[in-house]
Amino acid sequence: MYAANDPRAALNTATARSNPAPAAYKGAEYARFYDAPPQEVTGGSETYYARGQNLVVAHTRGKAGLVLSRTNQVDEYVVLLPNKDTPVEVLWNGQSIVVGGYCLVVVPPGDSEVHLKGDGEVIRLITTRADDLVAKCSNADSYLSPDPNVPPFEPWPDPVGGHKLRQYSLDVPPEPGRFGIIFRCSTIMVNFLPGSGPRDITRMSPHFHDDFEQYSLCVAGAYIHYLRWPWISDLNAWRPDDAELCAAPSVAVIPPPAIHTSRSMDPVKNVLVDIFSPPRADFSAKPGWVLNANEYPAPGNTAR
């Protein structure tokens, strides 16, 4: 239920389900990184971990000199720098890139390091194949039983030309008909949505996903996340509606097939990043939406 001028109104939502119709539901997860103790403290730097079925969100308020390392990482991950003036050096397999912020970096499997050259906010998006990070998550117990409506994780094809460090600026001008600023790798899709003031409540966009999660990461301002689960025959499985206020920094894990929409609340600036793991096929099938689609092929015929 999108407004007529919302680019998502043109998505083909009548796709076949890849898993059975729901017989039970999992609740949403809300991690407010500003309202809880961090899972790690290193020399004044604080890191918070929260997860969904497929993805770990690691949020670091870092001090200059901090090194964030991955050893024997099994698949690609993303380093997201949502603010300018966040100088970082990323190292992998003898390669090194230096970025100043307001970008994302795709880091290949294996050993890697992220060096903070100044104070700043660093967000790592890593699949739940990283068992060591899963164990650190504040909500680890929520996934002792998996979400019955999310199929097993399957990565997308490897990048054209093989693995290397890849940097993508978030300073991308809007374009009519394109939704957000979207990049993907073999494991993750990131949609960085331009900042806005408070949302017009006559133009909400309630919708649902059959079989994939959405991670709504608030990096500025605040949002109310509204969720409603469809009724099924077993009344014991019915869930009450959610209306959760989450300020920055926070992440809401929205499970399928909950109907959901979010309302920006700050009077000046709100920034939301929607994340999907693995990448979503419908966005990938829209020509021009995924800005690095030429580097990362999609399965079958969804690549554009």
Q: pLDDT by residue (tens digit) across 200-216?
A: 999 999 999 999 999 99
All domains of the chain, ordered by start, with CATH? Answer: 22-284 (2.60.120.10)
Model pLDDT, residue 7: 81
- Those residues of the chain that have pLDDT short of 70 are 1-5, 10, 12-19, 301-304
Task: Note the pTM of the prediction, 2 decimals.
Answer: 0.93
Model pLDDT, residue 300: 83
Helix (H), strand (E), coil (C) string for the chain: CCCCCCHHHHCCCCCCCCCCCCCCCCCCEEEECCCCCCCEEECCEEEEEEECCCEEEEEEEECCCCEEEEEEECCCEEEEECCCCCCEEEEECCEEEEECCCEEEEECCEEEEEEECCCEEEEEEEECCCHHHHCCCCCHHHHCCCCCCCCCCCCCCCCCCCCCCEEEECCCCCCCCCCCEEEECCCCEEEECCCECCCCCCCCCCECCCCCCEEEEEEECEEEEEEECCCCCCHHHCCCCEEEEEECCEEEEECCCCEEEEEECCCCCEEEEEEECCCCHHHHCCCCCECCCCCCCCCCCCCC
Residue type, 119: D
Q: pLDDT by residue (tens digit) across 145-160?
A: 999 999 999 999 999 9
Model pLDDT, residue 21: 79
Length of the chain: 304
